[in-house]
Amino acid sequence: MASGTPGAGGCTSSLMAARWTITISIVNIVEGFYMNFLMATPLKMSSITDPTRMGAKVDKWTLRFLSMAQSVARWSKDPSTRVGAVLVSPDRRIVIPGYNGLPRGIEDSTDRLLNREWKLRTILHAEHNAILTARQDVSGWTMYVTHHPCSNCAAVMVQSGIGAVHYIRDDAFEDKWRCSLETAGILFKEAGVHVEGHRLWMG
């Protein structure tokens, strides 16, 4: 995911956005923990990936994991865009979170986080961070993330063998980073990665 000033005429901004990659967390959160953690959320969703499905409820697991990604995003200290992701094993018994921030052991002072150019050169994105934290083969796993992945994160996910991506729709974000996100879509399509966006609504 990215923040900053997008270029008006092409992919210059996406190249800078591609440097954003993500920051750390917890490994092997077992089913009992996230079930109790997520059942309390009041969020509901409807899928808008396919216009014919407008208003259709997504399954309970997608809801829970996207809700969890929203909670993980709050761990980020980025003053511009807080992004959260959870990487889930096929049997749903391993859940690995990640959020955008500076690498482990690097001071995340306010001055650094407010320095856009420095931040874009050093920050890690939520999706990449979750994959790094996994420290194991994640082929066939599913990534749930609070924003549409950027082109760099898409490349990392394709290379890692991620089988599916679910994200929360954000029209303003997607318009701002259209070039990078369109490239990400091309990568996902060619690699056969299932991608689905969902719009949250309160109720």
Q: How far apart are CA 129 and CA 117, in angstroms?
A: 20
127 annotated active-site: yes
Is residue 120 predicted with pLDDT exceeding 90? no
Backbone torsion region of residue 189, taken as left when φ is above 0, otherwise alpha when ψ lies between -120 and 50, otherwise beta: alpha
Q: How far apart are CA 50 and CA 35, in angstroms?
A: 28
pLDDT by residue (tens digit) across 71-85?
A: 999 999 999 899 999
- What is the arithmetic mean of pLDDT over 83-99? 97
Q: What is the mean pLDDT of the chain?
A: 79
Number of Cβ within a 10 Å radius of residue 127: 33
Of 38-47, 90-99, 113-122, the range with the lowest mean pLDDT is 38-47
Q: Is the dihedral of CA 97, 103, 109, 110 positive or negative?
A: negative
Residue with tokens 């500076």: 102
Indicate which residue of 31, 107, 117, 127 is catalytic.
127
Q: How far apart are CA 81 and CA 166, in angstroms?
A: 18
Angle (CA) 26 18 129, round 5°: 5
Is this structure's pTM higher than 0.85?
no
pLDDT by residue (tens digit) across 130-172?
A: 999 999 999 999 999 999 999 999 999 999 999 999 999 999 9
pLDDT by residue (tens digit) across 10-45?
A: 554 443 333 333 333 333 333 344 444 444 444 444
pLDDT by residue (tens digit) across 177-186?
A: 999 999 999 9
